[in-house]
Structure 1
Amino acid sequence: MGLFKKEKSLDQASMKEGVGLITLTEPTSVIAEQFRTVRTNIQFSSIDQKLRSVVFTSAGPLQGKSTVSANVAVTWADQGVDVLLVDADMRRPTVHQTFQVPNKRGLTSLLTEETFDLTNTIQKTPVDHLFVLPCGVVPPNPSELLNTKKMDKLIQELTKHFDLVIFDVPPVISVTDAQILASKVDGTILVVPQGIVEKGSVAKSKELLEVVHARILGTIMNRVKAENTGGYYGGYYGTEDK
């Protein structure tokens, strides 16, 4: 048996339109409140160590990690915390579309140029205290770019300027990008969609992250149906990324 249930082929919807920001468009909704709960749980998971950088990933593609990371970033910024959302998914970038910012320059630029020109690369968003670093030009060698001392220095530089840096990275099992970045940051969150991902793939993802000594803060179960939660979540997160 494969690690994943049969999924639809990868579409380009999120890459063309971005992901839904319900925490911004419907801040009083049940779903938005659940994202705030997720934020609080992450905060309390790291009491002994100040959390300055965190990776959001999933076992496989089309599992909602970009939607979750973007919405959690909004809720964190709502607290008055200066947050930077980095599109480190240099294979299927979405952040520039989600926040409607230019993508001519981005993470790729900072990793390939001699100096870090943060001023002309990091973009403001409509959300106070929330900034984004888009992917930039999609490179032919994402893993090689991330697995460099320059990436280490960039993380150090970004955490000097922002209270929290959130990285949206590719799925763990698909490519090595997530393992590379997870080994460099303070914590990793695994997004697990109910009814889509197999237990074996979640276990495999955990194993791969542990191999690189990633600090796994926990998992977020999304796409949970109301009948499976006693109605508590009110159909939390819906059935598809929009």
Structure 2
Amino acid sequence: MSNFPRYAIYYLPAAGSALAQFGSAMLGYDVVSGDDVPFGEATACIADWRDITADPRGYGFHATLKAPFGLSGGRSESDLLWACATFAETPRAIPQIAPVIRPIGRFIALVPEGPSETLQQLAADCVRDFDEFRAPLSAEDRARRKPERLTPEQVGYLDRWGYPYVMDEFRFHMTLTGSLDPARHDELLALLRGQFAATGIDRIAIDRIAVLRQDARGARFKSIAQFELRSADY
């Protein structure tokens, strides 16, 4: 069984930024304050929008860099926060992406328009550098990842890093919906693209990491700390 609380290392937009406000309004949840927020006017008119966004609401508007994990024996929350602060102080190239709204399988997410080596490197560094804090996967948690549906490489990553979508399998995305009926895909994709275009955001710096905590199974994740990354050009 999973250890609780669980922690995750995510990218979160800066609190109060246009991107944070957009994501919070789409999901109806502010992952920094831990408060419910009103849906945007356009999505609030969709009768089942709360149901459509139920799954991503539990995680908040984010991009995963190190997937949720219980702490390994002898490690504490304060140890993890100290390690994140140290990581953030290491000079590095700050990824910049041109954001677009696209489908990923049956859900819709904000993703980079094209590949980014610096973003892939940041994600890989997070996976490696924070792995000492991760408790080993239980048999139950491993089964929950449905390894029978994964490729051999993904199973190898699951067993080595506790998550199958890392390293060359990593795809940066900020989820906006749960799994959708294909018949509604085009309608909702057009709506979300229109809502995002209205923000005027055409570039996003992946310039911070955040530590989030989930206190019990089924509880929502909440940000407990954010650390701005130090640019190599600083």
Larger RCO of the pair (alpha carbons < 8 Å, separation 6+) = 2
Which has the larger share of strand? 2
User: When the two structures are superposed, what TM-score results if normalisation uses the length of structure 1?
Assistant: 0.24
